[in-house]
Structures are given as C-alpha cells and as structure tokens.
C-alpha cells in the first residue's frame, strides 16, 4: 500500500509541477489531466471510490476539455519562444510560496499529533449511503449547488458571448 | 496503512505547486490551472481526514468534497469565460499587459 501511495503521489506532484512549468499550454493541460487521474487513484486508496469516479468525470472529462477549449479560443498555444513565461517578480512569488510551505503548512502538519492508523479498518462501499444522505439531510445543500451551477453556467455564457454579436442580435 | 501525515504532506506540496503556478506565471490559463491544483490539494485533505476520522460512516468528508468539486467546476467555467472575454478585449492572455479596468 505504501508503494502504491508513493507511486501515485510522485505522479501527482511531478505532473502538477510540469503543469505549471511547461511552456506549451496543451502539454500543460495534458499533464494536469495526469495529475487529476493520480489524485483519483489516491482517493481510491483512501476508500472513497465514488469520489474517484466523480474526480475523473468532472475534472478529466469536463474541466480538462474546458481548458483545452479556452486555449483553442485564445489562439496562443506556445507563444513566442523567446518570450518570458514568468511574471515580473516571479522570484518573489517563488519565495512567497516556499515561505507558505515551510512556515505554515509543513510545521503545522509535523507538530500535530495525528493518527497513524485509521480508526475504522474497512469501509463498506459508500455510494448508496451518499445518495441517501443527499436526499435526506443535505437536500437544501444539493439544491443550492444545483442553482449555483446553473447560475454559473449561464453567467459563463453571458460573459464569453462576444459583445459585437449581441449588439447585432439586438438590431435584428 | 499509510499514516495520515503522508497524505497531508503530499497535499501541502501540491498546494505549494499550485501557489507557485499562480504567483510565477503570466499566462491567465496557467494561473487558473494553479487554482485548480490548489483546490484539488484541499480535496485530498478532506478525504484523508474523513478516512482517518472517528466516524467515517457519516460520510461528512465525502459529502463536503462532493460539494467542493461542484463549486470548483462552476469556478472553472466562469474563470475560463472571463479569460476568453478579457482576451477578446486585450488580444493577449498575458496578465502583465492587463493594466486597466476600462478603455
């Protein structure tokens, strides 16, 4: 189990690093998809099999394709090779991110007494219980999320629609 | 079983990588990719704490992660639509060249 964990987390970290470091945007998106798949593997290792499936469907299926479409619509896949890909003050960004990792995240994890073993050894498949939970105590949350997704998708369409075209539609 | 520490350290490193993408790159889509990586690192934390918690049968961590994934999906759609709208205006996805809020 530790071997599977090491392989999956190594894939996740390396592909995430490649996703934010590669110059070619399409390659970055593909490594991002590899990162999502590795994370789904970690979810299965933690016995959250339904969420692993959701992770693949939503992230690899929807978000990855959405990012590819955005790249396609903005037309600059690689950019000028001589052009810098880093922002101004990228070194400060690196220093800030490293400071967050080394002073906030890692000490908090390493200083806290955390369980070495899970309290419950095996967990039954949880899809049925998840569905029942969404129907009984979390119905309001589910409906709010549904409303939010609808509003967000409508908003995305309204934002992305081209202004010239909408003016033409008003005239006609 | 793998101890909880390991999952949290991996999640912290992934969060660091996402932050690195947001803070050091100038392409708008890569910045959004960094945000997605950070959200996924947080989801890994939720699931790890759920698995090692005292009551995994209540499925609180899984339900929270489910809602978090739905919100991340909405965020990605709106974020990419904003990138496309801004690109149409500035003709560049470079965040450094977007310096004003109106003409």
pLDDT digits (tens, 9 = 90+) for B75-100: 999 999 998 888 888 887 788 888 87
Boundaries of domain holding A156? 125-172
CB contact under 8 A, A51 and B66: yes
**Can you give the pLDDT at residue A172?**
55
Instruction: Establish if A74 touches chain B: CB-CB under 8 angstroms.
Output: yes
Bridge partners of B27? Answer: B94
Instruction: With beta carbons under 8 A apart, name residues in chain A contacting B12.
Output: 101, 105-106, 109
For each successive 10 residues of chain A (172 residues), what is the average pLDDT? Answer: 92 94 90 95 92 93 90 70 73 90 89 82 83 90 94 91 64 57
A23: its two tokens: 């110059």
Q: Is residue B45 part of a domain?
A: yes
**Can you give the pLDDT at residue A170?**
59
**Can you give the pLDDT at residue A146?**
94
User: Which of B31, B51, B54, B86 to mutate to probe the A interface, most A CBs <10 Å?
Assistant: B51
Q: Is residue A95 part of a domain?
A: no
Instruction: Establish if B86 touches chain A: CB-CB under 8 angstroms.
Output: no
CB contact under 8 A, B80 and A123: no
Boundaries of domain holding B10? 4-97
**Exposed (0-12), middle (13-18) or buried (19+): which is A114, by Cβ within 10 Å?**
middle
Question: From CA B88, how far away is CA B98, in angstroms rounded?
Answer: 12
Q: Is residue B103 part of a domain?
A: no
**Can you give the pLDDT at residue A77?**
59
B49: its two tokens: 């704490």
Regions of chain B short of the pLDDT cut 70:
103
CATH code of the domain in which B34 resides: 1.10.287.3510
Min CA distance, B100 vs chain A (Å)? 17
Please check whether residues A135 and A71 belong to one and the same domain. no
Instruction: With beta carbons under 8 A apart, name residues in chain A contacting B57.
Output: 120, 123, 129
CATH code of the domain in which A3 resides: 1.20.120.1200
Q: Is residue B56 part of a domain?
A: yes
Q: Is residue B48 part of a domain?
A: yes
**Can you give the pLDDT at residue A81?**
58
**Can you give the pLDDT at residue A87?**
78
Min CA distance, B18 vs chain A (Å)? 7
Please check whether residues A73 and A130 belong to one and the same domain. no
* Sequence-ordered list of residues with C-beta below 8 angstroms from that of A166, at least 6 positions apart, any chain: none
Task: Give the CA angle between residues B100, B102, B103 to the nearest 5°.
Answer: 100
Q: How many domains does chain B have?
A: 1
């Amino acid at each position: 189990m530790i071997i599977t964990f090491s392989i999956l987390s190594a894939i996740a970290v390396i592909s995430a690093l490649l996703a934010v470091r590669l110059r070619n945007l399409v390659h970055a998106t593909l490594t991002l998809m590899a990162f999502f798949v590795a994370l789904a593997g970690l979810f299965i290792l933690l016995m959250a099999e339904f969420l692993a499936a959701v992770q693949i469907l939503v992230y690899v299926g929807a978000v990855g394709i959405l990012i590819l479409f955005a790249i396609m619509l903005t037309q600059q896949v690689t950019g000028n090779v001589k052009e810098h890909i880093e922002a101004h003050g990228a070194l400060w960004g690196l220093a800030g991110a490293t400071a967050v990792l080394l002073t906030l995240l890692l000490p908090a994890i390493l200083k806290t007494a955390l369980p070495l073993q899970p309290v419950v050894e095996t967990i039954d498949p949880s899809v049925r219980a998840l569905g029942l939970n969404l129907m009984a105590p979390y119905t309001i949350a589910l409906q709010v999320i549904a409303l939010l997704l609808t509003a967000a998708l409508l908003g995305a369409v309204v934002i992305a629609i081209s202004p010239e075209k909408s003016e033409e539609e008003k005239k006609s | 079983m793998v101890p909880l520490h390991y999952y949290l350290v991996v999640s912290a490193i992934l969060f660091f990588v996402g932050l690195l993408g947001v803070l050091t790159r100038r392409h708008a889509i890569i910045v959004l990719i960094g945000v997605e990586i950070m959200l996924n690192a947080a989801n890994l934390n939720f699931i790890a704490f759920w698995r090692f918690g005292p009551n995994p049968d209540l499925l609180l961590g899984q339900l929270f992660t489910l809602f978090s994934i739905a919100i991340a999906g909405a965020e990605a759609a709106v974020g990419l639509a904003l990138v496309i709208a801004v690109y149409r205006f500035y003709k560049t996805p470079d965040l450094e060249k977007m310096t004003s809020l109106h003409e």
